Amino acid sequence: MSRPPTPADTTSAAASGPSRRRVVASLAAALPATGLLTMDSSATAAAAPSRTGAPAAGPLPGGGDLGPNVLVFDPSTPGIQAKLDEIFQKQETAQFGTGRYALLFKPGTYDGLNAQLGFYTSIAGLGLSPDDTTINGDVTVDAGWFDGNATQNFWRSAENLALKPVSGTNRWAVAQAAPFRRMHVKGGLNLSPDGYGWASGGYIADSRIDGTVGPYSQQQWYTRDSAVGGWENAVWNMVFSGVEGAPAQGFPDPPYTTLDTTPVSREKPFLHLDGDTYKVFVPEKRTDARGTSWGGGTPRGESLPLDRFYVVKPGTDAATLNAALEQGLNLLLTPGIHHVDRPVDVRRANTVVLGLGYATIVPDNGVTALKVADVDGVRLAGFLIDAGPVNSATLLEVGPDGASSDHSGNPTTVQDVFVRIGGAGPGKATTSMVINSNDTVIDHTWIWRADHGDGVGWETNRADYGIRVNGDRVLATGLFVEHFNKYDVEWHGEQGRTIFFQNEKAYDAPDQAAIQNGDTKGFAAYAIADKVSTHEGWGLGSYCFYNVDPSIRQGHGFKAPDKPGIKLHDLLVVSLGGKGQYEHVINGIGAPTSGESTVPSTVVSYP
């Protein structure tokens, strides 16, 4: 999250019209008592999971209803707007609340809706293509709850819908952990809050925006495998890979980093309807991708019926989840808080663990929340891991220590998996995410040691390292890692690649001594180990905001060995409002930041 603003050029286009609220008849009569529109009969007939604390006796059922916080609408449902407004009122300011919601729309056309999204709210269509589900209206994120400041508009998502905005432009003013995936906007997209207040996003993938995207005050943004009708401006760091219509490479002025294609990508799994049957579509891998995966018709991949998933309700223990995995089932996490007293162990190749509505896993007693074996093609997607008050050595491990198998043909993917330490209460973790398996694709993550909320302090939510990559040929597309006590990113594997990196150093360092790293002032935001011979990165930014001790000096934002195979492009560091300063961009290279100007210091190419 980036607090101090940088003025953007807002003269070339007007902001979208104000949010609209169209309250119609109550939905209550149309919804069962659970709040869930009925699933198909084979799914709802499945037995309830065990709550005993021990693995369920005998085979566990696949499928099941999705619980009270998954709301499924069709075009004939009365009172949709009223229900959307009701949920928004609950979630608009609930930054660290326990409410979790998934709003799902069956294929068809919906007129006159404005779905305003608050915290932990996901909206999605249930077709195979975004164009199967059209809203003649808006899916809106704005920042009225925070006086026009969008830098805390976290944890919400839109997916698999076509929108025809009423004003011609849809507003999506978000910060981190707010993906915009598989969307078709039949108009423009405004990424800033009403009045062009501060904004610090964001991520678009597999989407088509027919009109112009206006980031305005957005400080940074990453867009992957999409198509845009135009791009209005840039502030500090705008990165594109595989985007038709993207602006030309221009860093640092304008600060566009543009790659023609994305080396490896595979879109996030998603729930959809096949007739009246619910399935999960698992897209196939693409190499050197450009444009959307769905523009040419039915996307390529596999649909898995819901009876191949164990539908996880809050209160289900980890032993039951592991029993389901051992029986060959995938996991579908329903919206809510899921406590685990032992790691969820994913050992089977091609397993899918998919969350709905920001389902949140909390590890108890210092365990690791989830571990993946060194196997092919596991898909982790759409959930939040919240550290518990007892320190966990790690929160997510992909592959065991020493993993060595080649997964280049079928990599594990980590998509919209977010990690949080503190904020919702005390939390601690030594290393939040560890990637040991070769060829893993990390596609959009926000790994966040909280700088505000409950349980926040230099030692209170201690977390030394954000992500450590030990596997070879790991690709990160959309890597957001912030506020760790030591290194935010440590990269030890060979042939790693990162496309877009956004970072802030920890705000709350008490003094210079607290971050001293041997002879170096502070720990780099992105550190490539000295032993590494080959690594490449594009569009990498680090910011400092040492508000406890503004006199702190950060030696550099990036650390890398000086070797021919190490190639980093378009680097920047920024001092936010003069709260601390960088002395260099990478190693001893790059001009220092100075004063309160929030003007980036840049390096176009390293070495």
Residues belonging to the active site: 504
Spatial separation of the C-alpha atoms in residues 42 and 161, rounded to whole Å: 26
Q: 293 to each of 187, 404, 504, how far by Cα in Å?
A: 20, 31, 32
Q: Are 447 and 475 in contact (CB under 8 A)?
A: no
Angle value at C-alpha 561, between 538 and 486, nearest 5 degrees = 80
Q: Are 495 and 535 in contact (CB under 8 A)?
A: yes
What is the enclosing helix (H) or strand (E) of 331? Answer: strand 330-333
Helix (H), strand (E), coil (C) string for 7-64: CCCCCCCCCCCCCCCCCCCCCHHHCCCCCCCCCCHHHHCCCCCCCCCCCCCCCCCCEC
CB atoms within 10 A of CB 67: 20
Instruction: Look at the block and give the residue holding tokens 């993917």.
Output: 413
Q: Are 364 and 386 in contact (CB under 8 A)?
A: no
Spatial separation of the C-alpha atoms in residues 204 and 226, rounded to whole Å: 8
What is the enclosing helix (H) or strand (E) of 305? Answer: strand 301-305
Alpha helices in 242-328 (DSSP H): 318-326
Q: 586: which DSSP letter?
A: B
Name the nearest CA neighbour of 8 among 179, 152, 193. 193
Q: How far apart are the first and last CA of the chain?
A: 29
| DSSP for 412-469, written as a single string | -EEEEEEEEESBBS---EEEEEEE-STT-EEEEEEEEE-SSSBS-STTTT---EEEEE
Q: 378 to each of 8, 356, 371, 374, how far by Cα in Å?
A: 41, 17, 11, 9
Instruction: Look at the block and give the residue holding tokens 């060595």.
Output: 404
